[in-house]
Chains A and B, each alone.
Chain A
Amino acid sequence: DVVLTQTPSILSATIGQSVSISCRSSQSLLDSDGNTYLYWFLQRPGQSPQRLIYLVSNLGSGVPNRFSGSGSGTDFTLKISGVEAEDLGVYYCMQATHAPPTFGGGTKLELK
């Protein structure tokens, strides 16, 4: 199975600060169809996951544009440009290029 390694595991930030989360894959996530099936999710405490980004860099429906995704191959990044209080929770990357889909271990974003 593809292993996704997220760093850092805990991220402390102040409101308004810009932060980045890294997701590194054990294999290239470029599919033979030309797509890269890399997603980012936010799980707020006590809630179900919410998809933020799909196909590396596409913003999900209703997701604020302070979130952005980038990367290719095996290295991917989620950036939050100006953290807001509602952004606190655990962030997960997920790949669906290779079966079975796998998730990263998560990055907890907390207030400094």
Chain B
Amino acid sequence: QIQLVQSGPELKKPGESVKISCKASGYTFTDYAMHWVKQAPGKGLKWMGWINTYTGKPTYADDFKGRFVFSLEASASTANLQISNLKNEDTATYFCARGQFGDWGQGVMVTVSS
């Protein structure tokens, strides 16, 4: 069956960087886009952008341009999200979601605290 398995929780200090992974299985990785969605504690869902898993081209929502990078390890069917120069407001759960959002990863909680 289709699975998106994300990496584990992260505790970081302001200014540090973090890299989150999303490993896909059960389908051809390059056939479907991969989206990233942010959920701050107790808040709703916010679309961050997506990456074309065939070409590797990323597209970022306006609020996620600059410190956020989507990348692929296509040979490993893995999509990655890297956040640099972390800020307190980056504290959130980050989800990956496939294609038309039919499958989601379990989410990664990133906590930014000094």
| A residues adjacent to B (C-beta < 8 A) | 39, 41, 43, 48-51, 54, 60-61, 92, 94, 96, 100-106
Contact = CB atoms under 8 A, between A and B. Distances in A.
12 contacts: A48-B107, A49-B37, A49-B97, A49-B101, A50-B104, A51-B100, A60-B102, A94-B45, A100-B49, A100-B61, A100-B62, A101-B35
B81 to A, nearest CB: 15
A54 B46 CA distance: 18
Interface string B32-58: 000101000000111101000000000
B17 interface: no
Nearest to A37: B100
Contacts of A39: 100-101
Contacts of B45: 41, 43, 49, 92, 94, 103, 106
A102 B47 contact: yes
Given A49-B101, A51-B102, A54-B102, 7 more contacts: A48-B106, A49-B37, A50-B104, A54-B100, A92-B45, A100-B47, A106-B44
B95 interface: yes
A54 B44 CA distance: 19
A61 B97 CA distance: 15
Contacts of A41: 45, 101
Nearest to A102: B47
B47 A101 contact: yes
B46 A103 contact: yes
